[in-house]
């Protein structure tokens, strides 16, 4: 593997205490507007020689300078994937306000207990944190939500009368979803070096661990989230199979169990579980305008997040809280260090209680912290195999996993199923399923409509008897039916000022630097898409630009083209060397799997001469290259999705313009020059030729010297091209010519050999 690519999984650098842009709206009637907001960047701090800080492999494993919560970014992703989520959350907010105003009695003690399962997903022993750390974390949750934390005494006098016991207990699950005894901790070894807010950690198929039923458990995943991201949570109303909290292993537990300062007192979990129970950031995520709200009346208006730590009694003011007592930096829903957050308020308690009476009410009936009991006849639904996530057809055959939890062999059971709130349909299953065994059952075809739906399935009457344990009978999944994509041609030149353009999305896992629109350079028009790798220290981060789905079958010979401009910062001849990477992927199964169809880094990606410069790269008109990617292998796909991925290595700026997906009828000589790259150039002898044709053609490569003598020649049958290497080290120094012939099209490029 080339050095430049191998180094792209290094950990992130530190981040500064710069303000966070905000993404949530303020008053409840405008809540649906959250879908309009985009994730906001943290600004990276650089400390090294002028013009460029160190690469991440030269830094130490330090905690970020300020708390970073990815909950709002995660919400932004869910909203982009599920347009109905905003209205569901708006309804939950309306119900929350109604409950507080009309039903909530602050003098009536209602203590709820939430069963917790910790899913530890680890790549090495350090990430596989101990049971002691998880038990310590659970104790912190209990102390903080019951106001039993020792540092509650630090709450200022002015707020002591509103500091709240939220009356929430947490227990480690003793029964798994099948009713078997459990420690409440799962451990999953993974080959994924780092996760982010895209929820991959929540699925076994993507290197994580599937959630236990969200109606009965608070799922808490513990994994490597990189250096800068402490954790994130899912608000009520989102998909059941991703519901819960994700914590960075570095900041889980306490100082005594190895958590890293200054986030070493377990308060990351307290903050994220607050989101899970429908609490917002205390400053209202409004960008410092003072117009926002956390929907709580007894927290002072606050302009922005607070970082760092302060002596108890310190009064902090800002443009929203201009006089004493200032704003409530002590609150768990701010961004202060663990040692400086130690209170919820009565208003926040009211929201938590409303949540437990509303969208989290099923947790009240969970038996997950009870004792195990066996029954002769006990059938249950283990999971929904499909539909799950995104599917591409309105008609599908559900597949569910049936398990025999009873002691008697299961020979007959009725399986019920439905989409949304339709009446249940009954399916009679017969067979022979031993005690403890499970099997996948394919149900009759179901037809629904495009959009987001809930599929629910349940068992009843095992062996024509009453089910001994109804708690494991039912399960559900959330899925989205995506219809055919837009017909071709597709074109995007980033000329409109709105970014990302309508129907597109940007996925920014670390909430730092990502794809933006730039008017500094363009191939055509006035703008392009740009990512500032020159000032982006988060090496190994994958920032995605996702195109809307397209119908490739609407043309006979689809091809994707785009203009790219890039220059390295580090000399590619140095050791070690570095490079950012540009990757293009396609999915034809609604995002379930992705295939890489373009991947370049190093000198293969560069479009400028010289190939590197310590000056931030801004391309001129002749420093762009047309890239052509054949799509014929996917021509039958009616719902094809594409995503451009920048893999950061802290090198230099990358630009993309003029993305087109069209039909092509042939290859002209004028176009052929943009379909191949030759690197390195100049070369000492070893040279690599990358060819990507939009349609299969007979291929011939001829290399001649300045006298016209052929020194190398290669012929291929009908092909889309590929990567070809030539060894010219025995040739004399000088100028050579590389001629590419694809069918009738011919293009020639100069090659310089130096020894």
Find, among 559, 548, 560, 547, the residue nearest to 515 by Cα.
547
Strand residue runs (E) in 45-136: 112-122
Kindly give, in sequence order, each residue whose CB lies less than 8 Å from that of residue 423, ignoring residues fewer than 6 positions away: none
- What DSSP designation does 569 have? S
Interstrand relation of 395-396 and 389-391 (parallel, antiparallel or unpaired): unpaired
How many separate helices (H) and strands (E) can be counted in the chain?
7, 34
Place of tokens 């903050």: 271
Omega cis (within 30) before 680: yes
* Phi-psi group of 584: left, alpha or beta (phi > 0 → left; psi -120 to 50 → alpha; rest → beta): beta
- Structure token digits, residue 133: 């750390």
Strand residue runs (E) in 604-668: 625-630, 641-647, 654-663
- φ/ψ of residue 644, rounded to 5: -90, 130
- Structure token digits, residue 325: 């007592």
Task: Show the CA angle centred on residue 650, arms to residues 645 and 652, nearest 5°.
Answer: 80
Q: Which of 73, 93, 127, 272 is catalytic?
A: 272
Burial 529-539 (b: 16+ CB within 10 A, else e): bbbbbbebbbb
Place of tokens 């199923």: 417
User: Rounded distance, CA 316 to CA 300, Å?
Assistant: 11
- What DSSP designation does 401 have? E
Q: How far is CA 222 from the centre of its chain?
A: 15
Strand residue runs (E) in 141-233: 168-172, 185-189, 218-223, 231-233
Active site residue 272: yes
User: Rounded distance, CA 108 to CA 97, Å?
Assistant: 18
The helix/strand/coil state of 428 is strand
- Give the residue numbers annotated as catalytic, written as ranges: 272
């Amino acid at each position: 593997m080339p050095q430049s690519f191998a180094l792209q999984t290094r950990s992130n650098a530190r981040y500064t205490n710069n303000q966070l842009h905000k993404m949530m709206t303020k008053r409840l009637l405008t809540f649906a507007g959250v879908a309009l907001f985009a994730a906001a960047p943290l600004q990276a701090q650089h400390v090294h020689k002028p013009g460029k800080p160190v690469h991440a492999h030269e830094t130490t494993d330090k905690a970020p300078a300020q708390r970073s919560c990815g909950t709002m970014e995660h919400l932004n992703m869910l909203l982009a994937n599920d347009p109905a989520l905003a209205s569901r959350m708006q309804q939950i907010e309306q119900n929350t306000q109604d409950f507080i105003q009309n039903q909530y009695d602050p003098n009536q003690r209602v203590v709820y207990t939430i069963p917790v399962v910790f899913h530890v997903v680890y790549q090495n022993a350090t990430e596989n944190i101990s049971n002691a750390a998880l038990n310590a974390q659970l104790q912190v949750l209990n102390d903080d939500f019951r106001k039993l934390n020792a540092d509650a005494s630090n709450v200022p006098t002015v707020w002591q009368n509103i500091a709240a016991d939220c009356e929430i207990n947490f227990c480690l699950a003793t029964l798994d979803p099948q009713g078997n005894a459990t420690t409440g901790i799962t451990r999953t070894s993974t080959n994924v070096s780092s996760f982010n807010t895209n929820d991959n950690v929540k699925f076994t198929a993507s290197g994580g661990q599937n959630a236990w039923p969200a109606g009965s458990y608070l799922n808490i995943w513990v994994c490597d989230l990189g250096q800068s991201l402490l954790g994130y949570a899912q608000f009520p109303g989102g998909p059941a199979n991703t519901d819960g909290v994700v914590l960075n292993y570095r900041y889980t537990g306490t100082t005594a169990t190895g958590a890293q300062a200054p986030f070493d007192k377990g308060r990351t979990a307290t903050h994220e579980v607050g989101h899970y129970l429908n609490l917002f950031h205390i400053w209202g995520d409004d960008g410092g305008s003072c117009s926002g709200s956390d929907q709580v009346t007894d927290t002072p208006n606050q302009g922005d997040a607070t970082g760092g730590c302060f002596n108890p009694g310190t009064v902090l003011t800002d443009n929203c809280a201009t006089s004493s007592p200032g704003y409530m930096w002590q609150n768990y829903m701010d961004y202060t260090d663990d040692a400086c957050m130690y209170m919820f308020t009565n208003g926040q308690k009211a929201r938590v209680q409303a949540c437990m009476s509303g969208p989290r009410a099923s947790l009240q009936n969970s038996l997950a912290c009870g004792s195990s009991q066996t029954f002769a006849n006990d059938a249950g639904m283990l999971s929904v195999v499909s539909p799950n996530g995104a599917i591409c057809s309105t008609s599908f055959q559900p597949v569910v996993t049936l398990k025999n939890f009873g002691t008697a062999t299961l020979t007959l059971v009725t399986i019920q199923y439905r989409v949304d709130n339709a009446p249940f349909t009954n399916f009679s299953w017969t067979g022979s399923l031993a005690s403890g065994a499970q099997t996948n059952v394919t149900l009759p075809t179901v037809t629904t409509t495009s959009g987001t739906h809930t599929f629910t399935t349940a068992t009843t009457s095992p062996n024509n008897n009453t089910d001994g344990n109804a708690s494991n009978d039912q399960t559900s999944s959330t899925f989205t039916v995506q219809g055919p994509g837009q017909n071709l041609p597709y074109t995007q030149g980033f000329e409109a000022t709105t970014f990302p353009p309508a129907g597109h999305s940007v996925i920014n896992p670390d909430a730092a630097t990502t794809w933006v629109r730039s008017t500094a350079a363009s191939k055509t028009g006035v703008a392009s898409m740009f990512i500032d790798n020159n000032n982006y220290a988060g090496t190994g981060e994958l920032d995605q630009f996702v195109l809307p789905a397209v119908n490739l079958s609407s043309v006979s010979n689809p091809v994707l083209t785009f203009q790219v401009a890039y220059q390295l910062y580090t000399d590619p001849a140095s050791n070690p060397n570095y490079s950012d990477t540009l990757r293009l992927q396609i999915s034809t199964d609604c995002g379930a799997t992705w295939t890489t169809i373009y991947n370049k880094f190093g000198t293969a990606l560069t479009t400028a001469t010289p190939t590197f410069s310590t000056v931030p790269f801004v391309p001129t008109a002749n420093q762009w290259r047309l890239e052509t990617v054949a799509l014929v292998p996917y021509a039958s796909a009616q719902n094809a999705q594409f995503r451009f991925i920048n893999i950061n290595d802290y090198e230099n700026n990358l630009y993309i313009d003029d993305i087109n997906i069209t039909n092509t009828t042939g290859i002209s000589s004028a176009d052929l020059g943009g379909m191949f790259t030759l690197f390195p150039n100049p070369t000492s002898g070893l040279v690599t030729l990358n060819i990507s044709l939009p349609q299969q053609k007979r291929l011939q490569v001829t290399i001649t010297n300045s006298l016209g003598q052929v020194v190398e020649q290669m012929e291929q049958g009908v092909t889309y091209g590929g990567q070809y290497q030539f060894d010219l080290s025995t040739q004399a120094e000088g100028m050579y010519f590389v001629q590419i012939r694809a069918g009738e099209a011919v293009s020639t490029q100069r090659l310089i050999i130096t020894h």
